[in-house]
Amino acid sequence: MKTFGEQLRYRRQQLGFTQEQIARKLDVTVRQYCRWETGETKISVYYLAKWIELSGTAYEDIHESLLLYGESEKLQ
């Protein structure tokens, strides 16, 4: 099971997007998006929902990785 940040990166690469493209679609800075991928900062529920919609990833898959790695506290 991948960490949440690893899932962000993996899914982005699967979709063929750069970090810049995803950041633009989510209306955040590239730096902010990079921080989510590296696990440096927390992602808000708002942006998590936007990312799930954009990526077509099932919420259950993300939720499982957040719980497995104790990252659910990283949601603001």
Per residue in 23-60, pLDDT (tens digit) is 999 999 999 999 999 989 988 889 988 998 998 877 76
**Global pTM?**
0.76
Question: pLDDT per residue over 14-30, tens digit each?
Answer: 999 999 999 999 999 99
Angle of CA points 45, 9, 54, to nearest 5°: 50
More confident residue, 5 or 71: 5
Q: Do you know the residue count of the chain?
A: 76
User: What helix, strand, coil percent values describe the chain, rounded to 5?
Assistant: 70, 0, 30
What residues does each domain of the chain span? 4-74
Class of domain 4-74: mainly alpha
CA 71/CA 68 separation, integer angstroms:
8
